């Protein structure tokens, strides 16, 4: 069973008429995602790809076609307002792909969506996919298929590689979620681990972390107490130098905190296996369900 997203989810795409929105929405629709509407202010009344109605606001999309999830492809300077708009319209799931959103903008967004019980994935993330059912974001559907392993990651490209390593060996995933690597994101490891723990068809979980912050350490502690399923972790950045940003805005080591070694030690001290490469991580996960 998937979490958060399935074939019945009614998706509205904010920024559907832009180049990125058009490209990825076509891929999502081809995968089977139920895209019911698009939103581009000033283009209401048009049809995207001659089939999907375009509205000026998310509220219209919710009222007219029952959209209950929003996928955001808008420039960074407008992204926070796009999230606020989707939240005010009453959708329960928001996936924001946009990167480069100012931290101060997200500092306003996060408590707003949390107070309304809305699940926000991202920003600066690849989105999520429930293999064989639906895809919201930019994760390639060709590299995965249905299976018993849940995956949650701060890294997009590492998500793809681990998914592919498992799929080429005949093991698919229940749901794969890229939570994003910015300093403030809407959903963290603990949020997703809790959902996987309650999903009867998710038999094991892969968690992909990276340097910076302490999210992985806190996730390890939570999992030890609350997740009665095998967990395999991978932490990118074992050779990252102190003080140098590696990829995401949140991926930076400050002093002795946030190192890959410290994060790996946290998981191993709790009894979880930690792969030292994406391939080894995939193999550990496959062993856990066979």
Q: Which residues are catalytic?
A: 248
Tokens of 23: 């490209």
Q: Give the C-alpha separation, 204 to 230, whole Å.
A: 5
- Whether a cis peptide bond, with omega within 30° of 0, leads into 32 is no
Q: How many CB atoms are closer than 10 A to CB 225?
A: 8
Token pair 């076509």: residue: 26
For 270, list phi and psi in degrees, rounded to 5. Answer: -95, 0
Contact 162, 219 (CB under 8 A): no
For 155, list phi and psi in degrees, rounded to 5. Answer: -110, 135
């Amino acid at each position: 069973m998937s979490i958060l997203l399935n074939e019945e989810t009614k998706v509205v795409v904010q920024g559907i008429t832009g180049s990125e929105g058009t490209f990825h929405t076509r891929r999502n629709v081809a995968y089977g995602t139920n895209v019911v509407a698009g939103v581009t202010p000033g283009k209401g009344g048009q049809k995207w790809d001659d089939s999907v109605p375009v509205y000026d606001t998310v509220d219209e999309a919710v009222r007219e076609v029952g959209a209950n999830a929003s996928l955001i492809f808008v420039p960074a300077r407008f992204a926070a307002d796009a999230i606020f708009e989707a939240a005010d319209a009453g959708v329960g799931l928001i996936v924001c792909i946009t990167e480069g959103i100012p931290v101060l903008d997200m500092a306003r967004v996060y408590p707003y969506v949390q107070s309304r019980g809305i699940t926000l994935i991202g920003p600066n993330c690849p989105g999520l996919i429930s293999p064989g059912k639906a895809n919201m974001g930019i994760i390639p559907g060709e590299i995965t298929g249905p299976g018993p392993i849940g995956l949650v990651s701060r890294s997009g490209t590492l998500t793809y590689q681990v998914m592919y390593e498992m799929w080429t060996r005949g093991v698919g995933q229940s749901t794969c979620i890229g939570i994003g690597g910015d300093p403030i994101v809407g959903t963290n490891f603990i949020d997703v681990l809790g959902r996987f723990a309650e999903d009867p068809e998710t038999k094991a979980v892969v968690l992909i972390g990276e340097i910076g912050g302490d999210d992985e350490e806190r996730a390890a502690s939570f999992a030890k107490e609350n997740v009665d399923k095998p967990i395999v972790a991978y932490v990118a950045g074992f050779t990252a130098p102190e003080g140098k940003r590696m990829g995401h805005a949140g991926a930076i080591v400050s002093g002795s905190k946030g190192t890959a070694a410290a994060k790996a030690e946290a998981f191993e001290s709790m009894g979880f296996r930690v792969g030292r490469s994406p391939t080894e991580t995939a193999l550990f996960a496959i062993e856990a369900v066979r």
